[in-house]
Amino acid sequence: MPLHQGPHPSPPERRLSLNPFYGEANPVGGMTEAPPHHRLPDGPLPPMSAYQLVHDELMLDGNSRLNLATFVTTWMEPQAGVLMAECRDKNMIDKDEYPRTAELERRCVAMLADLWNAPDPATAVGCSTTGSSEACMLAGLALKRRWAKRNADRYPGSARPNLIMGVNVQVCWEKFCNFWEVEARLVPMEGDRFHLDAESAAALCDENTIGVVAVLGSTFDGSYEPVAEICAALDALQERTGLDIPVHVDGASGAMVAPFLDEDVVWDFRLPRVSSINTSGHKYGLVYPGVGWALWRSPAELPEELVFRVNYLGGDMPTFALNFSRPGAQVVAQYYTFLRLGREGYRAVQQTARDVARGLAERIEAMGDFRLLTRGNELPVFAFTTTPDVTAYNVFDVSRRMREQGWLVPAYTFPAHREDLSVLRVVCRNGFSADLADLFARDLHQLLPELRSQSGPLTADTEAATSFHH
């Protein structure tokens, strides 16, 4: 889809498309001409009329609760909504004026440092962001600045920094490399390996490598990358060559799942080579969009010149962000959720999501037309494709037909070197209950006879048909 463009041609006059009862006291007054779409109206509308115009158009959006494409939280408790409404007018950057909101942010950072096993949670540094995309940009910027300092004699003269990652990384990493002029060294998929592996990561490293990005929960299929194996391979590389390559863990989703469900998986600050971690508070952190978190093992991993310091109430509050003004509501909601659930509550919520994902994956596999790539055993996410003997339809047909039932299920092709593989992906979040999963399975099962009766796939242009854009 192109960037927003100018106005499209429209009739010079349109009638106001509202029920007269939403107008002024005189139900006929002001009903002759609707406001323009692409320029400011000449005069004001009554608040109820303006609300109803916007409300009615937004009804054509998809239902967020039935959106199985997004990882973003689509349900919170009413009390969280009240707190967010009370704080939406507070600018998060104004730490002098809103010291308690700043304190809640600091507490959230401390809680995450403890959750992720920082050597000394009291000295770990971090900040809230608008989401994991900003957090990744900050982590990458810190990696590049540290590398530049170590290579001041070669950079920016002859050396070009590079970053190692799997081709499955979220697009924000490609943006980082583009914006900050870093070479993106992407490890392609091979066979049934759909993410970065330790051997490939180490093989691409050289004296210009600023770091390796390991993803704890690939958006393509929900699988964890082997962070501990990657760190071990980089340890061996340092022994052979002297190259000391730090690791950043993109835990956008998995960093709020693994600590509660996979405590035996070592991926966090317990690994000395892990210098920084990010997560999305608005994904499995269970907060409405948009809040993310970026943490560094210690102040040594975050160059001091990148930190902007604000003094409030006699204390020192360091800030490090690309964004400036943003509401404090999401940070407050994150603190509320941490208090509300605690470790046991998070464990129960994430376990329920995983159980729903596993159960739904098994039901889909039992239908016989589909092959599972993942089963929801790591992130509560699974990907599946059609079996080789299914020739009457493809995954894009399934996505289109399920959309007719209200379900938003992304269908997309995998990147290099597996462009031949097209899949569907289901994200199970808090609020996607076992009852909703049952309805999803029933709707899919009821579509199969019609899909099987097709003479062939109706969606031939898979590149145009893909609905995976995030």
Mean pLDDT of 251-269: 98
| Structure-token pair, residue 154 | 């070669």
Residue pLDDT, tens place only, 401-460:
999 999 999 999 999 889 999 999 999 999 999 999 999 999 999 999 999 999 999 976
- Tell which wins on pLDDT, 49 or 101: 101
Shortest CA distance to 102 belongs to which of 87, 115, 119? Answer: 87
Segment 299-358, tens digit of pLDDT: 999 998 888 776 655 556 667 888 888 889 999 999 999 999 999 999 999 999 999 999
pLDDT for res 469: 47
Burial 380-392 (b: 16+ CB within 10 A, else e): bbbbbbbeeebeb
Tell me the chain's radius of gyration from C-alpha atoms.
25
What are the residues whose beta carbons fall under 8 Å from the beta carbon of 121, sequence distance 6 or more? 110, 113, 114
Amino acid at 360: L
- The pLDDT, as a whole number, for residue 448 is 98
Amino acid letter for position 101: T
Residue in this structure with the two tokens 């693994």, named with its chain if needed: 258
Strand partners, 165: 186
Model confidence pLDDT, tens digit, residues 73-94: 999 999 999 999 999 999 887 7
Burial letters 216-255, b for 16+ CB under 10 A, else e: bbbbbbbbbbbbbbbbebbeebeeeeeeebbbbbbbbbbb
CB distance 205 to 212 below 8 Å: yes
5 phi-psi bin (left φ>0, alpha ψ -120 to 50, beta other): beta
Q: What are phi and psi of 60, to 5 degrees?
A: -80, -10
Tell me which of 34 and 300 has the higher pLDDT: 300
Distance (Å, whole) CA 167 – CA 159: 23
Q: How far is CA 415 from the centre of its chain?
A: 18
Q: Using an 8 Å Cβ cutoff, are 84 and 329 in contact? A: yes
Three-state DSSP state, 422: strand
Residue 95: the pLDDT is 78
